[in-house]
Structure 1
């Protein structure tokens, strides 16, 4: 699809929308209208590991629903996280990096955020990476909602829950019933297809299966090239992949499985005097998991158990020329296999108390990084084996009608990294109608991983100590009537022994003390006509012990999301404004920018959705440098995307 043709199509759709707005809405349209009440008491389960109202949760929690995903044309996890307060996303074409509350360190592969799928830990065990790009297990159409609980979460979740926990909740058969298919294409030469099927039997069992695939060809280079070189590298720039997600449930037993494969082609520049100017690099991701969980209520007690097996396989194939000028490939191969066990028991047996205790175990069966020329003996071989154990207890105590306390404590121990204890405390006051005041304190840690060991080992540098954070936060949430609410929070974090990559020498070491101060302001307004506005401003300042701001740490983030019905919920126009202030990355100063994205969602029938999206409407030219080396990378320009979804069956 050519950009100019797509823009003309977009204008035609807007004209159709304007005419459609003049048509009276049917009863069916009215039944599908967006609720006009603000979502103050949305249910969440991440902050305490059990379902509760977000206003009573012992942390600030942000939620993006499947309705938001469809209305705003969110294509992937990066788009979802980018819309949340306090999070900012960068990318280098191969990996998607997420910074939280003003801290996104070079060389960090999302190891300081814990990512869950339906409550199951999915950070892999080589880099502790949260894999959020096209290699992620879950297609966005299979997501019911995403919960983000910012702040230290190690008192419940242990390692990696340093800046917060992101929980991706997938759809069940209530939303994935029958057969559903989707196809999409955009002006960046990306094509996607997805099919899902779900069934719930009269005997009580239910199952879902989702399959998806994508392909992108002739990807524009993220840096300026001569015209002849730009044409030469396009055939070497491609991305393709596929994934599977399955679930089966009967009674209290749930089985899940997921697999993803992604292969990314990148041009490798051999130099101006080389006989072959460009060769082919490849990055290959293969990931899978299988899990079983069982939950049962026994009177006043609730029992939960889960076991999972996971595998992460990454290959980086780097082309180079030997001294005799023959092409060769250098392989960097990372393989991880690990098992998780999660046992929990909860009870409301004691009046006004909800007590939960749990035990977690992770066995890293395989951790290895192998490097060397393809087909030859490896130059380096790094391997590890680790066992982690965590024991925690938490009590949620309703002291009175207006006072609620949450107290928690967790002890973690590991073969590598030693042991640590992390507490949490939250006091919630609800003495004002439709309002809550929260005072929260918690701590968290992150151990060094095999990737950081691999960087230090060749020069006999010691393995860094575990990094630690302590955070004190005060949050106020207030609904002024049924249609408007606002929230405000301030936090102060003290970080010590942050594991950082030195820029002058490729080694990881512990930094000095770091101070992180921030505030988040937000509001939500809904109108009786179905319009909805969400706005947030995040202010943050992260400095080291000399008072110098850290790299990749913007001082301000601004998010505006607005949706406008044009003909009930059958035709709706939505837009986003995503702004980020200037920051530095190594020696580079990266200017701030603001992006405008907009989506027109048309539902001509109950079983059909057509979405036309325009990303970076102003064609803003902005750059990023997520690993602080090399030249800044140009980010995507204006992109037009057309998507069609069709439901078959009941």
Structure 2
């Protein structure tokens, strides 16, 4: 299959190059970075208020990634993007596994379940974990026209999981076809197109990706049977869109499969694999628009399945051989929602937003599978059997979550220089306590170039269906008495921008309460509210565009305080153990004529849980050559210096020969990809 794709890539390249053997004249107006700094700062964003406003006037700390940014940096997946957000530090392992987590302003929690991800305004987090990588991995952002990110709480608008951040991926595919070959046996094909039919625009895109994985050596194996592993993966993604001025319908299908590497914190090459299938359909329609009112209705449905298998216990070798104790979970998740959003222009200076949200979610299928009779006498069965004969064998109780929500927001332009935004949201749950989340912000423009923001916000992360209703998943036992994680956040922001330079400084203070984690009592491991955390820090961002061909930007996050207090019996890794105290992102970009060169990456200070207590600098390179107005070559190199490093895990993999916990995963080394793209 890989050889076949390679041949197709070469033939495709020869064909396109023959068509465009006469290179177009250099056109400095077609730089990949086509917007000036002032133009970028004036691009409207809507994630912070659901109303369009400029970045500077947004009543939250918001980052914006345009299509140019995504292409310039060679970002291809959601995981790639999250490494570029100020205040975020991605500890996603090389395969975005269950042990991954995101550090956001010092706070980290399993499954990255304190980050809400939206696709065209539709939430795609699952309610089983609350996170984004248990059922969805390797999410392609090739179709994104722009991506908006709130750095900080967003629950007053978006509810649960809009806790440490919110990401909204806004799609609008550009007609193109591309083929990629790379190291690790990487091959990929991407196609997108759109046509107009009457007053409707129809769009579609297809993405295929596969690689043979990195080869890791001298790895930790709690069973002591192997010292190496790899992480091959395949991905297929389909997106369909139809829209006009009033309505939009999106369909997305994503399937991924990963083999070997760590699963259930164990290694067993040739056995371990996880296969995920996720699809969603979403529609929206503008019911009313006039000088005062704008009313929209939307609805969505998503379904996901997860099939996994590994070895909980390794078998015995000769002369008394015994089979591996295989273990896996077959799980299905589904949810549906409907929402009504309205805005009312009360006067020239006052605008109100009102909305309601109804959703239901459940786990209709969740069963263990094994080659041993785990519900009987543990007899060997000879083959893997799914234990789904009756409800008593469910790994997650058959419970349905229903949420009814309302929110209100006001934007008041007190003076031409001062704007005040207030918001309040009430979420009513059928299985946990209700949540009331307020926010208040003030934006004061001191002049045309500078100003400050004062932001107070509260947020929460509802206990997930897994937190509440897990019975026996091989991990832990749920607790139906859990309280929601709660966050109180205060932030002071100063911003300044000129024609070529922009600078932002953000001081933040966060107080996390009722953190959910494992607790042990009488040899029983169950989930509980086990502690609190206080984090204080500073984010600095600098962007400098000395000419239309040069761009230099960087951001740094420094945590002054990151302290967790735990209850007795808590089995929990504090954020300060798995998060660096200081971390930064950087980019240097140069575009002479038809060429584009970028060096980017990140740096972090030491991480306590890692065996190698060193700072880490990662460098990525991205080169683009525009053969013509329709054709370009791209060379991407991740981890240019081939650093051999580890990422921290949320839970230990086991203990080493010295009885010390092992809490790190090997990350991929240098990766090279060559991509040829033709604009249709």
Could you tell me how far 1:464 is from its partner in structure 2? 2.0
Does 1:469 find its partner at 2:487? Answer: yes
CA distance in 2 between partners of 1:626 and 1:321 (Å) = 23
Taking the aligned partners of 2:30 and 2:71, their CA distance within structure 1 comes to 18
Report the Cα distance in structure 2 between the residues aligned to 1:521 and 1:360, rounded to whole angstroms. Answer: 36
Closer, same or farther: CA 424–616 of 1 in aligned 2, 3 Å: same
Aligned counterpart, 1:89: 90
**SS of residue matched to 2:578:** coil
Instruction: Tell me the SS of whatever aligns to 2:608.
Output: strand
User: Post-superposition shift, 1:120?
Assistant: 0.6
**2:107 aligned residue (95, 103, 109):** 103
Per-residue CA shift, 1:102-137, capped at 9, x if unaligned? 1113xx111111100011111012111213997355
Aligned to 2:187: 191
Map 1:399-548 onto structure 2 (within 5 A): 399-454=414-469, 463-479=481-497, 481-502=498-519, 506-540=525-559, 541-545=561-565
Give RMSD over aligned pairs: 2.9
Task: Call closer, same or farther: CA 1:418–1:269 in 2, change over 3 Å.
Answer: closer
Match of residue 626, structure 1, among 642, 646, 649: 649
Give the superposition deviation at 1:500: 2.2
- Rounded to whole Å, the distance in 1 between the matches of 2:464 and 2:263 is 31
**Contact in 2 for aligned 1:78/1:132 (Cα 8 Å):** no
Q: How far apart, in 1, do the equivalents of 2:633 and 2:417 lie?
A: 47
C-alpha distance in structure 1 between counterparts of 2:153 and 2:418, whole Å:
23
Evaluate the alpha carbon distance shift between residue 475 and residue 422 of structure 1 in structure 2; reply closer, same or farther with a 3 A threshold. Answer: same
Give a deviation string over 1:562-601, Cα, whole Å, max 9, x none: 110122xx2011111311111233x856533010111111
> Structure with the greater relative contact order (CA < 8 A, sep ≥ 6): 1 or 2?
1
**8 Å contact 1:245–1:256 — kept in the other structure?**
yes
Which of 347, 351, 369 pairs up with 2:348? 351
SS in 2 for 1:410: strand
Distance in 2, matches of 1:307 and 1:572, equals: 41
Query: Contact between 2:340 and 2:357, CA under 8 Å: does it hold in 1?
Result: yes
Is the counterpart of residue 159 in structure 1 residue 160 in structure 2?
yes
SS in 2 for 1:550: helix
Q: Is the 8 A contact 2:186 2:209 kept in 1?
A: yes
Alignment of 1:25-424 (within 5 A): 28-32=27-31, 34-38=34-38, 39-92=40-93, 93-95=95-97, 97-105=101-109, 108-131=110-133, 135-137=137-139, 139-172=140-173, 176-177=174-175, 180-201=176-197, 203-221=198-216, 223-224=218-219, 237-266=231-260, 278-295=269-286, 296-319=288-311, 325-326=322-323, 329-366=326-363, 368-373=365-370, 374-378=384-388, 379-383=393-397, 384-424=399-439
Contact 1:222 1:634 in 2 (8 A): no
What is the CA distance between 1:26 and its match in structure 2? Answer: 5.2
Residues 67/351 of structure 1: CA separation in 2 closer, same or farther (3 Å cut): closer
* Secondary structure of 1:497 counterpart: strand
Contact 1:269/1:278 (8 A) holds in 2: no
**Residues 474, 225 of structure 1: CA spacing in aligned structure 2 closer, same or farther, 3 A cutoff?**
closer
TM-score computed with the length of structure 2 as normaliser: 0.83
Is the 1:601–1:609 contact (alpha carbons within 8 Å) kept by the matching residues of 2?
A: yes
Is contact 1:525-1:534 (8 Å) kept? yes
1:562 and 1:230, CA in 2 relative to 1: closer, same or farther beyond 3 A?
A: farther
Partners of 1:468 and 1:213 lie apart in 2 by 40
Aligned 8 A contact 2:395 2:471 in 1: no
1:527–1:328 CA distance, 2 compared to 1 (3 A) = same
Q: Distance in 2 between matches of 1:168 and 1:221?
A: 33
The gaps in structure 1 that reach 5 residues or longer are 1-23, 271-275
Give the conservation status (yes or no) of the 8 Å contact 1:112–1:160.
yes
Q: Which runs of 4+ in 1 moved over 4 A?
A: 24-27, 229-234, 267-270, 320-324, 454-462, 502-506, 546-549, 587-590
1:453 offset after TM fit, Å? Answer: 2.8
Which has the higher mean CA deviation after the structures are superposed, 87-96 or 546-555? 546-555
Deviation at 1:31, TM superposition (A): 5.0
- Give the match's secondary structure for 2:576: coil
Looking at structure 1, the residues matched to 48 and 402 of structure 2 have their Cα atoms a distance apart, in angstroms, of 25
Q: Which runs of 5+ in 2 are unaligned?
A: 1-22, 371-383, 568-573, 654-661
Give the whole-Å Cα distance in 2 for the aligned partners of 1:167 and 1:268: 30
**Greater mean deviation of Cα atoms: 374-383 or 280-289:** 374-383
Cα pair distance change 1:322/1:565, threshold 3 Å: closer
SS of the equivalent of 2:112 reads coil
Q: Which secondary structure state, in structure 2, belongs to the residue aligned with residue 584 of structure 1?
A: coil
Q: Tell me: CA distance 1:329–1:531, structure 2 relative to 1, closer, same or farther (3 Å).
A: same
